[in-house]
Amino acid sequence: MTTMPIIKDDTLREGMQTPGVMFTPKEKMEIATRLVRCGLRRLLVSYAPAHSSEVIFTSDLVERTKTQNVQVFSLGRGIKEDVDVIASTGANISITTPFDGTYSKTLDAARYSKDRYPDRLLTVGLTDVASYSNNSLADVAKEFDKAGVDFLELPDTTGKLHPSRYGQIIRDVRKQITAKIAVHCHNDYGLSIANSLAGIEAGADEIDATVLGLGERNGIADLLIIAKSLELQGVRTGVDVPGLEEIYQFVNDLFRSKTKNSVLNDRYPVIGSFLKVHTAGTHATNVNKFAGAYSVNVYCGRSLVKSILSEYRIFLREDQLSRLVTAIKDLSAAEGRVLSYDEVVSLSRKISSAK
C-alpha cells in the first residue's frame, strides 16, 4: 500500500441516486451522525444546487459538525452558479465535468472557486475517465492541477474498467500532478471494490464509498468492505469497522421500507451470518481459522460430525461414527437437503442403541 488513504463517505448524496431511494433530512442527519460516530471525517452529503432542502440540510450538518473535525462536501456541476450555491452552505466544494468531455466551464469554475472561496477544499471530478485517451486525460489533469484543485477525482463512471487498467490510469495521472487523487468506482459489473483498491495501490489518496454500496444504478464501492479490506492489509483507516454494522442495519431498514427489498443477507461480506457456517470437512476441522456452526450435507466428514456430537456430549465408537456419517450422507442425498443438528443427534442415538 503506497498511501494512507482517506475514506470519503458518499451515502447521503450518491446513496440518494439508488433506484427507489429518497432520504428525508431527518434520516440523512441520523445517518451522518452515526457515520461520524464511527470515525468518518469526510462526507459528501448532498447535491446542493438540486433543491432548497439540500441546501438547508448541508448548512445544518456543517453547523453541527464544525467542532468535530469533519469535512463536509456538497456536489454540483462545473459552473460558477453551482459553486456559489455550495459555498453558501459552508461546505467544501465538489464539482464535475460534463459527460461530453468538455471541461472549459468546469476549469473556469475551479479557478473561480479557489479565488472566491480560498478557505474551502475543492474536488473536481473528471467524469468517465474510461472515455479519455491516456494523453488527453493527462493534459486535462494538468490543467486542473494548475488551477489549484485539492483533489482530482478520476471516476470509473460506467463501471467498465478492469482493475489493472484503472490502476494504470491512476498511476499515470499520479506522475503528472501534485493534487491529491480520489477514486470513485461504480459497480455495474461488480468491479467497484477491486477498482477502488487497485486505485489506492496505484497511488490514489482517497476512496469514495457508501453504506451498503448504494448509489446510481448498481451503486459504488461498499464502505464496510473497503474499510475491512484495507485493515486486513494493515492500513489504519480510522473507521470503527465493527461499529458500522449498526449503521448498515439502520440504512438497510430504511432501504427496505422504501424499496421493499433488502441489501443485507446471510451471504453479505464481512458481517453475513454464513461467514461462521462451514460445510466441508477441511474447513470444519480448522477451528482456529473457521470457528462457528456447521451445515450438514453429503460433504460432511467425520470430524465435522464428531464436533457436533461433542456439543451434546455424545461420543461414538469409530465404527458407529462411520455408520452415522454414511447415514447422514444417504439421507441428505435422498432428500436433497441439509440436516439439522437434532436430526444428527437422533440418527446417532439410533446407531448407538442398535445391536
pLDDT in tens, 137-147: 999 999 999 99
Residue 265 domain flag: no
CA dist 332 and 339 (Å) reads 7
Question: Is 266 inside any structural domain?
Answer: no
Task: Report the C-alpha gap between 105 and 65 in whole angstroms.
Answer: 32
Neighbouring C-alpha atoms within 13 Å toward the C-beta of 352: 13
Residue 333 lies in a domain: yes
- CATH number, residue 114: 3.20.20.70
84/112 same-domain check:
yes
Q: How far is CA 256 from CA 86, 251, 263, in A?
A: 31, 9, 8
Q: Are residues 197 and 316 in the same domain?
A: no
> Where among 226, 259, 292 does a domain terminate?
259
Residue spans of beta strands (DSSP E) within 67-157 = 71-77, 92-96, 122-125, 151-156
**What is the predicted pLDDT for the residue at 4?**
77
Residue 269 belongs to some domain of the structure? no
Shared-domain flag, residues 320 and 244: no
- 297 and 284 Cβ atoms separated by less than 8 Å: no
How many separate domains does the chain show?
Answer: 2
Residue 2 reports pLDDT greater than 50: no
Identify whether residues 98 and 211 lie together within a single domain: yes
The pLDDT of residue 155: 98
Q: Which domain holds residue 91?
A: 6-259
Spatial neighbors of 113 by CB under 8 A, at least 6 apart, are 83, 87, 93, 95, 120, 122
> Is 264 inside any structural domain?
no
Q: Indicate whether 281 pLDDT > 90.
A: no
Q: Do residues 251 and 280 both lie within one domain? A: no
Cα–Cα distance for residue pair 244/38, rounded to 1 Å: 7
19-28, 264-273, 275-284, 345-354: least confident range: 275-284
Contacts of 319 (CB under 8 A, 6+ apart): none
Both 284 and 135 in one domain: the answer is: no
- Domain final position from 233, 259, 285: 259
136 and 164 part of one domain: yes
Judge if 298 and 232 occupy the same domain: no
Clarify whether residues 194 and 284 are in a common domain. no
Residue 292 — very low, low, confident or very high, per pLDDT cuts 50/70/90?
A: confident
pLDDT score for 283: 52
Mean pLDDT of 263-290: 77
In the numeric block, which cell numbers belong to residue 44?
A: 459528501
Residue 164: phi and psi, rounded to 5, are: -65, -40
**Residues 227 and 342 occupy one common structural domain:** no
The chain-wide mean pLDDT, for the chain, equals 94
| Residue 216 in this model has a pLDDT that exceeds 50 | yes
d(Cα 314, Cα 320) in Å, to the nearest integer?
A: 12
Lowest mean pLDDT among 121-130, 193-202, 283-292: 283-292
pLDDT tens-place string over residues 242-268: 999 999 999 999 999 999 999 999 999
Burial 147-180 (b: 16+ CB within 10 A, else e): bebebbbbbbbbbbbebeebbebbbbbbeebebb
Residues 282, 255 within the same domain = no
Same domain, yes or no: 284 and 237: no
Kindly state the cell numbers that stand for 259.
Answer: 424499496
In a domain, 307, yes or no: yes
Is pLDDT above 70 for 303?
A: yes
Classify residue 232: in a domain, yes or no.
yes
In 10 A of CB 298, how many CB atoms? 14
- Contact partners, residue 218, CB within 8 Å, separation at least 6: 159, 186, 187, 188
Average confidence (pLDDT) over 159-181: 98
Q: Answer with the one of 218, 234, 259 that is the final residue of a domain.
A: 259
